[in-house]
Amino acid sequence: MVKIALIGAGKMGLSHLSILGAHPNVEIVGVCDTSKMVVQVLERYSGYKCFSDYQKMVEETHPDAVFVSVPTKYHYPMVKELLKRRINVFTEKPFCLNPEESIELAQLAKAAGVINQVGYHNKFVGTFREVKRLVKAGAIGEITHFQGEAYGPVVVKKKSETWRSDPTEGGGCLMDYASHVIDLINDIIAPIESCKGSILKSIYSKNVDDSVYALVGIESGVSGVISVNWSDETYRKMSTSVTIIGTEGKIESDANELKVYFKGDKFPKGYSKGWNVKYVTDLTDEVAFYLRGEEYSAQIDYFIKSVTGENSHDINTFDSAWKTDKSISLIKKQSSYV
Amino acid sequence: MERIIFGDNQFFAVNHISDEKSRAQSIKFKDDSAIIKTLDIAIASGINTFMCTTHDRIANICEIIRQDPEKYQDFKIYPCMPYAHKYANAVTELGIAGTLKQYVPGNFVSSLFKGGMAYVSKDFISIMELMVDAEMKMFKGINTPVIFLQNVITDLLLGLGMNEFLIGFANYVRQKYNAEPGFITMNLPKLLDVLEKGGITNPIICTSINKVNFRMSGGKEIYEKTLREGRCRVIAMQVLGGGAIPASEALEYVSNLPNIESILFGASSKQNIENTVETIKYHDQKNKERLITRYNEYEDQYASPVSAVN
Ligand SMILES: NC(=O)c1ccc[n+]([C@@H]2O[C@H](COP(=O)([O-])OP(=O)(O)OC[C@H]3O[C@@H](n4cnc5c(N)ncnc54)[C@H](O)[C@@H]3O)[C@@H](O)[C@H]2O)c1
């Protein structure tokens, strides 16, 4: 049994707790939250040992690994403290508020020799995994351009303030929402290393951006566009997609449906010339417990198996999340020149 | 429960495999009249049960149904609560405490917070009951013989080990609404164990059942085993496996499984609705004939006077 403690039982934390609770190889040894109500409900109905101070929790419960799902500004100090104690860490995305904090933690984790993972769950989505496989195999030839998009209805009117509306706490569309697409592009193609122009726009929010539009590039010089808007109520829920154009074909994919076009007679097994459509249902492995998407269960199972040494542990490492924080910071910096 | 139940995903742009199809659906069903028209087609093809989320727009549909009691005399609704996006959005905006204050009727929650939550355990079950009442308001005067808990909530509670809420829901629905409790889940075997342990025998469970293992946690084999044991009344949903298999093949598989009481499906065109109903009826009829033949063969072999003498 892997002994797990969790800090921050909010929306994301409860989802993690539920999946962890159903995992056959996990024992939940402690939960920490500063909300009295959350703690009382979890103690009374789930029987978890609860704390309001995470350091105290860690000292008393000796977990093998800790899940960190508090608002983003706390990721850095808490993860740092956990790494000092050589505890394996799964933390929510985005990793930190800036890449300086991220690289420090990535290095600390390496030095401590602990398992480290960040919650960019899209990497466990079947369609996106297949996109990566196709791109890395050179199936659509040389890439000439890419587009990463995400739209959804997070802020669709002027709202009361939460941590999501405070830029110093990791709020805003770029940090909270666009980070998913940026991380996906970084993983599938290559890290975004330049930004030629970007606009961060507020629509309803007073202090943070509600949409992000950026012209970006990777090391090889290939260009791309990032277009993200979390104030688009024509979407029922977050919809993330990538379009990749290559010399031999084109890929369009979201989390449900993968469409690939091959120009010529060279294509991978299972595909044919012209348009091909595959559904996530064909590309997804079943999970042992389903809550809200196979990817959420799969990322947790992957982390647990990393802790028990059953895989190579190279998905969503702190190192990859640091690169994503770097790309985010480039886009943010560029926007201030407009 | 009826053999075939009509679902509502198509009305609210829930399509598990294509965002494009979702978009087309939300355009098609923009007006309530389009929803009613499709429901009427379903009724005309012999389906009298509509299973739907407690989405705001369902309130309008209920109003239309109430106004025509003659036409909808035999019509039943199985409400599925809650409409999770409503609460998820509220939690993002208001936090958990704020959401409770907003959605729990009366000033129960405010007084609870002021009172320092002395009797927290009992009070949270009461909060759940008040929330059930709030969700049920729109169905006043409509026949709702089964009331469901949505899978996101069922499975969240299941994973968190909050079995008391699952049992509490079942008890409350029976007591207050004189209805059978139902549970939607993506984790049939695990849920069934928990419900049985909580004293709920032969529960109504709506769950993914399909030929391609889609959303059948733990795998098809354990689901088929659970079905064979006949410990629950199953409504099969997502029988098309999210659209991954041809409808005829998918329906044949589900129709031939044992102990599936009902099949839930949603469709927006007249043709698809009628085809689905006919296909299920065709397989059910074939199964019946097969049973009769088998019975007759049995009779011939063991019960005829000749063989008895021999
Ligand atoms: N992967 C995803 O798709 C996804 C989705 C949502 C959120 N997230 C990330 O998860 C993190 C949390 O987001 P959320 O939506 O769950 O927020 P939330 O506000 O719902 O939950 C945060 C929880 O942390 C608790 N908390 C705050 N400060 C604390 C402290 N010092 N010690 C202990 N507990 C504390 C709060 O009481 C609350 O329960 C963020 O980093 C966010 O970006 C990721």
CB contact under 8 A, A46 and B162: yes
Report the residue among A53, A70, A177 best suited for mutation to probe ligand 1: largest number of ligand atoms under 8 A from its CB: A70
Q: What pLDDT sits at residue A164?
A: 76
pLDDT of residue B310: 43
Pick among 3.40.50.170, 3.30.360.10, 3.30.420.270, 1.10.3210.10: CATH of A122-287+318-335:
3.30.360.10
Q: d(Cα B119, Cα B129) in Å, to the nearest integer?
A: 16
Same fold, A2-121 and A122-287+318-335: no
- Top pLDDT among B30 and B82 is at B82
Q: What is the 3-state secondary structure (H, E, C) of chain A?
A: CEEEEEECCCHHHHHHHHHHHHCCCEEEEEEECCCHHHHHHHHHHHCCCEECCHHHHHHHHCCCEEEECCCHHHHHHHHHHHHHCCCEEEECCCCCCCHHHHHHHHHHHHHHCCCEEECCHHHHCHHHHHHHHHHHCCCCCCEEEEEEEEECECCCCCCCCCHHHCHHHCCCHHHHHHHHHHHHHHHHCCCEEEEEEEEEECCCCCCCCCEEEEEEEECCCCEEEEEEECECCCCCCCEEEEEEEECCEEEEEECCEEEEEECCCCCCCCCCCEEEEEEHHHHCCCCCCCCCCHHHHHHHHHHHHHHCCCCCCCCCCHHHHHHHHHHHHHHHHHHCCC
Q: How far is A161 from chain B (nearest CA, A)?
A: 8
Q: Can you name the CATH fold of B4-78+129-309?
A: TIM Barrel (3.20.20)
Min distance A279 CA to chain B CA atoms (Å): 6
Do A11 and B91 count as a contact with CB atoms less than 8 A apart? yes
Residue of B nearest to A287 (CA): B217
Whether A153 sits inside 8 A of B241 (CB atoms) is no
Which pLDDT does position B19 carry in this prediction?
75
Residue A42: both structure tokens together: 């979890």
Q: Check residue B86 and give its pLDDT.
A: 77
Residue of the CA atom closest to atom 17 of ligand 1: A10
- Mean pLDDT score of chain B: 88
Query: What gap in Å lies between CA A245 and CA B81, rounded to an integer?
Result: 43
Per-residue pLDDT band for B85 (boundaries 50, 70, 90) equals confident
pLDDT-derived band of residue B124, with 50, 70 and 90 as boundaries? confident
> Is the per-residue pLDDT at B114 higher than 60?
no
Q: In angstroms, rounded to a whole number, what is the distance separating the alpha carbons of residues B188 and B183? A: 10
Q: Indicate which atom in ligand 1 lies nearest the CA of residue A119.
A: 1
Given a cut of 50, is residue A237 above it in pLDDT? yes
pLDDT for B298 equals 77
**Contact criterion met (CB below 8 Å) for A4 and A28:** yes
Residue of A nearest to B27 (CA): A234
Domain edges within chain A: 2-121, 122-287+318-335
Residue A88 phi, psi dihedral angles, 5° rounding = -65, 140
How close is the nearest chain B Cα to the Cα of A213, in Å? 22
pLDDT, tens digit (0-9, with 9 covering 90-100), for A93-134: 999 999 999 999 999 999 999 999 999 999 999 999 999 999
Parallel, antiparallel, or unpaired for β A192-201 and A211-218?
antiparallel
**Does residue A334 have a pLDDT over 90?**
yes
Whether pTM exceeds 0.80: yes
Distance CA B136, CA A325 (A): 46
**pLDDT (0 to 100) of residue B17:** 67
Q: What is the arithmetic mean of pLDDT over B294-298? A: 81
Q: Per-residue pLDDT for A167 more than 80? A: no
- Read off the pLDDT band of A157 (50, 70, 90): confident
Residue B158, chain A, CB below 8 Å: the answer is yes
**Residue B306: its pLDDT value, please?**
53
Over 90: is that where the pLDDT of B300 sits? no
Determine the average pLDDT of the residues in B214-232: 94
Whether residue B93 and residue A160 make contact (CB cut-off 8 A), yes or no, is yes
Pocket of ligand 1 (CB under 6 A): A 7-13, 32-35, 38, 54, 69-72, 74, 92-93, 119, 121, 176
What residues does B4 pair with on adjacent strands? B263
> Where does the pLDDT of residue B308 fall: very low under 50, low under 70, confident under 90, or very high at 90 and above?
very low
pLDDT at B16: 64
For residue A117, give the nearest of A285, A304, A292, A286 by alpha carbon: A304
Judged by a CB distance cut-off of 8 A, whether residue B28 touches chain A is: no
Query: Using 50, 70 and 90 to split pLDDT, how confident is the model at A338?
Result: low
Q: Which of B56, B160, B210 to mutate to test the interface with A (most CBs of A within 10 A)?
A: B160
* Right CATH for A2-121 from 3.40.605.10, 3.40.50.300, 3.30.1490.20, 3.40.50.720: 3.40.50.720
pLDDT at B309: 47
Residue A160's pLDDT band (boundaries 50, 70, 90)?
low
Distance from B13 to chain A by nearest Cα, in Å?
8
Q: Which one of A280, A286, A291 has the shortest CB-CB distance to B213?
A: A286
Candidates A12, A295, A328: which one to mutate for ligand 1, based on the most atoms within 8 Å of Cβ? A12
Mutation pick for ligand 1 pocket among A11, A96, A163 (CB with most ligand atoms within 8 Å): A11
How many angstroms separate the CA of residue A176 from the nearest CA in chain B? 12
Name the residue with higher pLDDT: A320 or B88. Answer: A320
Q: Where are the domains of chain B?
A: 4-78+129-309
pLDDT surpasses 70 at B115 = no
Please determine, for residue A241, whether its predicted confidence score (pLDDT) is greater than 70.
yes
Cα dihedral value B16, B17, B23, B25, nearest 10: -60
Q: Does B90 touch chain A (CB under 8 A)?
A: no
Mean pLDDT of A313-331: 98
Highest mean pLDDT among A116-130, B228-242, B269-283 belongs to: A116-130
- Convert the pLDDT of each residue in A7-53 to its tens digit: 999 999 999 999 999 999 999 999 999 999 899 999 999 999 999 99
What is the B173 CA–ligand 1 centroid distance (Å)? 33
Least confident of A97-101, A118-122, A259-263, B33-37: B33-37
Which pLDDT tens digit goes with each residue over B172-222? 999 999 999 999 999 999 999 999 999 999 999 999 999 988 999 999 999
